[in-house]
Amino acid sequence: MSSHVSRRGFLKAGLAAAAGVGLSASQAVLPQALHAGGGQELCTVFDLSQCIGCEACVDACREQWQGSVPDPAHPIPQPFPARVPIEDWSDKKDVRDRLTPYNFLYVEHLDLERGGKSAELHIPRRCMHCVNPPCTNLCPFGAGRVEDNGVVHIDPDICLGGAKCAQVCPWKIPQRQSGVGIYLDILPEYAGNGVMFKCHRCLPLLKEGKTPRCIEVCPNQVQTIGPRGEQVAKATALAQKMAQANGAPERWRDHLYGLTENGGTNTIYVSPVPFPEVNAALLKLHLEQAASETPTKPGQGRGQAAKGGQGRGRMLAHAGRPHMGPTANSMASAENLTLALAIAPVAGLAAGLGRLFSGVKKLKKLGRSPEAAGQSESKGGQS
């Protein structure tokens, strides 16, 4: 407990320093513990024993949000240095077996062997919506957002596609679409490489008091949403019941995922199969998928391409298919805490400039000058 208070005090001191250089708290990149302290966090619980793998949730998500991701301008500028990859998914919108900028949610289908019997397990995957997300804390452009309701999202009007969020995410969840966003109007070769996209848990609908689409359409009520305290209690009771059914009641925590991973998330999975077994099956499947999708060099078979620790790690890290293994609290490290404090003032300034630039760009698209918009507002008009 004392270490938690110490970290919080440390972050408050950093935010005070940021304010000293002309930034408001809303402009800085704030850890969830501070940013959403006065709000009611919403948590979702997945009961995997109820999922039949119909993918109705995937269809609903794609129908609702795929059109919100713009198609890139062509030709897409080659970033500098040249080793920075262009990531263009605009001609692969039909891909639905992994996360992409156009696919915020997908379903894993596992065939498992347990006690000499085969078992199927279907796992909807999307952003975990961490309680203290490194993707927002460490974004140098201030594009990461944490709402009071616990939703973690990326502002596409500010994001420059630098992919820091994907690098620090324990599950590598945010996905980049190159050739879109404000970087094209700033320094397209140097200022970024597009926009990062991921699940925002139907935030526009939540703000209207509506249910996220994936929950609304599920025929088996696999996923429920509610206040975090209530949902944690529900998930814990369900995990204990599953562990009892498996004959190992003392190992009920093995049936939970997301409760403590990365310091805790607002996405909690409960599985009838212990997660150490689930993760082993996932890693095997992901390696096979990545190997089949990785171009091979002349004289190198797919089996050879799949071998090697570094090659394996690279394939898994960029496959858009999150693991379900143990994950330490990334924001508990002194290195990331220090980095978050160092980034906050710069990120706040970058976010403010990004909003200003994006606003001017939108006005120009509407054929209005910023000066005219200002005059309209001063007279009570709306821009």
**pLDDT of amino acid 140:** 86
**pLDDT of amino acid 333:** 74
Average pLDDT rounded to a whole number, residues 206-218: 96
Look at the block and give the residue holding tokens 């004392």. Answer: 2
pTM of the complete model? 0.79
**pLDDT of amino acid 114:** 82
Confidence of residue 129 (pLDDT cuts 50, 70, 90): very high
Among residues of the chain, what percentage have pLDDT more than 90?
58
**pLDDT of amino acid 155:** 95
Average pLDDT rounded to a whole number, residues 294-308: 51
In the chain, the domains with their CATH numbers are 30-328 (3.30.70.20)
Omega of the bond leading into 75 within 30 degrees of 0 (cis): yes
